[in-house]
Amino acid sequence: MTSQYIALPKGVSEKNFDAAIRDFRKVLGDAAVLTSAEQLAPYIKTMMPVSDADHTPSAALLATTVEQIQKIVAICNQYKVPVWMISTGKNLGYGSAAPAERGQVVLDLKRMNRILEVDKDLAFALVEPGVTYQQLYDYIKEHKLGLWLSMPAPSAIAGPVGNTLDRGVGYTPYGEHFLFACGMEVVLANGEVLRTGMGSVPNSNTWQVFKWGYGPYLDGIFTQSNYGIVTKFGFWLMPEPPAFKPFVIQYQHEEDIVEIVETIRPLRISGVIPNAVVIAHALYEAPVKAKRSDYVSGPGSIPDEAVYRIMKDHKLGIWNVYAALYGTQEQIDVNWNIVTQAFTQSGKAKIMTEQEAGDDPAFAYRAKLMRGEMTLTEFSLYNWRGGGGSMWFAPVSQARGSETLKQMALTKQILAKYGLDYSGEFIVGMRDMHHIVDVLYDKTDPEQTKAAYQCFEELLTEFSARGYGTYRVNTAFMDKVAETYGPVQRNVHKILKKALDPNGILAPGKSGIR
């Protein structure tokens, strides 16, 4: 007998699934329960080097209210049907909108797109999961609120809830997004609605201004996890500064990253440079200006000699440090002196401001990201190899020069073994760096796709063998990364899962938790 569904949840009979779908339709209406291949097509495409069949959903549910979600979890518990929650559902290079496991029902919260509150004085927002950065940006402009967003590079089409819940980062002084989260509403697997922190106090007006509430701080367990469905999310916004000065500092040799990091760290920890600085390799910036095919053809990774030609032709450093100063003009002048003094000491750095580099397309999009303006220019990366293959390799590094050089060299060496290029950058926290490498490959080429998979696996294995952990990963490698954090943490995650979601209906497999 042919199934009327394109996939079924693991261990659920078609008869039971039918009954669940019937009940979902009663709650949401027919139009908001998608089951046909055509309707589910946009939930299937990923950039990962695995078969789409491994991540094909059985259905998608378009919920719009908390009450609906409470009813949905009741149905899921009854029929043991697992849901995979998405908000704006982009998560490109991390799994897109597809579920972790074949047959899971996507609970698509994109239509929950209400901006519930933006407070100009206290500079916070409370939004639903489907709100995009573009929507919030337009709202702030329209109401002249004088607040800035911090967002990841897929800005306009992504949103603050999904990005922060997956502990993503941006490029302004508020770039470590979860640091600026304040208060969540979460529908639990048993249907109860929890408001974290001060949100649990009836009639409290401090939900979005004081994070900790009373007792154990719970917000963290709802990030990168599957312990609840976040339906409202509060976070802090940056007041628009009177002045903003973006700049780029270029270096010509890969080993110079040691000097760069040693110079930046004290400036970053002391707050002279307040934002999440980026140290981007030439191959991360090159796609904005150059075509790979103009410099190299055939299989294999790009040779250093070609990279140097690209740098020369397109005015790039091998390292391009993008940072900015924020504040009054007087504050910026003082800090600019400190920055230039620090970077000019060795004579290796080329420092440029908007005056010298304002027309450069790489500088222009980086400046936008550092002031919370919408841009999707970073997607130029996807043109580098073409074919729509991308995975973010994201190990964490100390903000120490020798460490960043070691990580870069190891990454480059493993990528080259599989014929792939090092398109990497370091995003500077205060004491850490997110080492972000786009493992780009042509997904239409089966050989390259296979190589990309093996390469990614080796990167994770070799990095963890040296004590380097990964902070975020695509849905094909979540178990592998969870394994690198050891059995005790995995067990604690599992105990929490059993306690909060005994039937395992919420996103089984997320971060390796079942």
Partner 1 sequence: MEKTKLKNWLFGFMFTVILATSNAWSAQDEKNNPGFAWKDGAEIYAKICAYCHEAQVGPQIRNRDLPAAYIRAVVRNGNRAMPAFRPSEIDDESLVKLADFISKKEAQH
DSSP H helical ranges for 215-256: none
Please give the angle made by the CA atoms of 164, 169 and 171, to the nearest 5 degrees. Answer: 135
Is 284 one of the catalytic residues?
no
The Cα 195–Cα 458 span in angstroms is: 41
Residues 154-173 vs partner 1: string with x where CB under 8 A? --xx----------------
Site residues for partner 1, 433-452, by CB under 8 A, read 443-444
Stretch of 333-341, 387-395, 485-493, 496-504 lying at the interface with partner 1 (CB under 8 A): 387-395
The answer to the question of residue 45 lying near partner 1 (CB under 8 A) is yes
List 94, 365, 382, 422, catalytic entry:
94
The answer to the question of residue 28 lying near partner 1 (CB under 8 A) is no
Cα distances (angstroms) measured from residue 305 to each of 166, 311, 376? 38, 10, 29
Is 268 one of the catalytic residues?
no
DSSP 432-498: EEEEEEEEEEETT-HHHHHHHHHHHHHHHHHHHHTTPPBS---TTSHHHHHHHT-HHHHHHHHHHHH
The Cα 178–Cα 192 span in angstroms is: 24
Query: What are the structure tokens assigned to 223, written together?
Result: 């990030």
The answer to the question of residue 95 lying near partner 1 (CB under 8 A) is no
The Cα 476–Cα 247 span in angstroms is: 37
Q: Yes or no: say if 460 and 468 are a contact pair by the CB < 8 Å rule.
A: no
Residue 19 DSSP SS3: helix
The answer to the question of residue 383 lying near partner 1 (CB under 8 A) is yes
Stretch of 11-19, 85-93, 253-261, 491-499 lying at the interface with partner 1 (CB under 8 A): 85-93
Query: What are the structure tokens assigned to 437, written together?
Result: 């490498």
Q: Which is nearer to partner 1, 79 or 124 (CB)?
A: 124
Task: Determine which residue in the list 177, 211, 232, 493 makes contact with partner 1, applying CB under 8 A.
Answer: 232
Task: Determine which residue in the list 3, 22, 29, 67 makes contact with partner 1, applying CB under 8 A.
Answer: 67
Is 471 one of the catalytic residues?
yes
Q: Which is nearer to partner 1, 201 or 499 (CB)?
A: 201
Task: Determine which residue in the list 108, 219, 254, 256 makes contact with partner 1, applying CB under 8 A.
Answer: 108
Q: Yes or no: say if 12 and 43 are a contact pair by the CB < 8 Å rule.
A: no
Residues 342-361 vs partner 1: string with x where CB under 8 A? --------------------
Residues that are catalytic: 94, 471-472
Residues that bind partner 1 (CB under 8 A): 34, 38-39, 41-45, 60, 62, 64-67, 88-90, 92, 96-97, 108, 110-117, 126, 128, 130-131, 134-135, 138, 156-157, 185, 199, 202-205, 207-208, 232, 374-377, 379-380, 382-383, 386-388, 390, 443-444
